[in-house]
Amino acid sequence: MYFLKKTAIVLLGSMLLSFGINFFLVPFEVLDGGIIGIGLIIKYLTGIQAGLVIICLSVPIFVLAWLYNKNYFYNSLHGMLISSFVIDLLASSQLLPSDMILHPIVSSILGGIFIGVGIGIMLRYETSTGGTDLIAQFLSKLFNINVGMIIFVIDTVVISIGGWLISKDTFLLSILTVIFVGFFTSFCTWNYKTENG
């Protein structure tokens, strides 16, 4: 029963995440941080599906997880695979009216909210999309630096590279998105911790 519930949560979280990416970030070439952000950079520059790129980039990270943190491997593998598949699945769908035009700032904020809630929901059930979180945890233990600070630095590097390769607007809008992703992810997980003591 718990496995079915966890699978349903991963699907829901992946849908929210993918909705935020495809319908609010992609139209304005906005980025999220981490592996998702790298996947989006490659999508914008080459046209290759972001989900496929995320899976390919995640292989060495999951090898590292298998060697050093098997709990992370088991808790994140299905989240990464399902979310990557749903990202590519929704990329070709038309769930929103084609004539619906949002301001880029509004779109970046809404994208950040959907992504943050999607990630937060998965984290509540001890699963995630994997990605650079493991690298951050690994570096945190190695250098005794706060893991949140490392994730922030990684996200900053990713959106800075994206801004340099794509446009200044991409960089500025992506900062806004990452802030809202972080806030809503933190809110979801903080609320969970509060409820559970």
Which is more confident, 63 or 140?
A: 63
Residue 26 lies in a domain: no
| For the chain, percent of residues with pLDDT exceeding 90 | 50
Which pLDDT score, from 0 to 100, does residue 76 have? Answer: 85
Which pLDDT score, from 0 to 100, does residue 99 have? Answer: 61
Residue 77's CB is within 10 A of a number of other CB atoms, namely 16
- Which stretches of 53-93 are assigned E, i.e. beta strand? none
C-alpha to C-alpha distance for 89 and 60, rounded to whole angstroms: 24
Which pLDDT score, from 0 to 100, does residue 143 have? Answer: 84
Residue 144 lies in a domain: yes
Q: Which domain holds residue 121?
A: 38-92+103-192
What residues contact 2, with CB distance under 8 A and at least 6 apart?
none
Per-residue buried b or exposed e for 80-101, using 16+ beta carbons within 10 Å of the residue's own CB: bbbbbbbbbebbeeeeeeeeee
Mean pLDDT of the chain: 86
Which pLDDT score, from 0 to 100, does residue 175 have? Answer: 95
Residue 19 lies in a domain: no
How do residues 112-129 score in pLDDT, each as one tens digit?
A: 999 999 988 888 887 878
Which pLDDT score, from 0 to 100, does residue 91 have? Answer: 87
Residue 60 lies in a domain: yes
Residue 66 lies in a domain: yes
Residue 165 lies in a domain: yes
Which pLDDT score, from 0 to 100, does residue 15 have? Answer: 94
Sorting pLDDT into bands at 50, 70 and 90, what band is 191?
A: very low
For the chain, the domain total comes to 1
Residue 24 lies in a domain: no
Which pLDDT score, from 0 to 100, does residue 18 have? Answer: 94
Sorting pLDDT into bands at 50, 70 and 90, what band is 136?
A: confident
Residue 6 lies in a domain: no
C-alpha to C-alpha distance for 102 and 143, rounded to whole angstroms: 43
Which pLDDT score, from 0 to 100, does residue 117 have? Answer: 93
How do residues 9-59 score in pLDDT, each as one tens digit?
A: 889 999 999 999 999 999 999 999 999 999 999 999 999 999 999 999 999
Which pLDDT score, from 0 to 100, does residue 195 have? Answer: 46
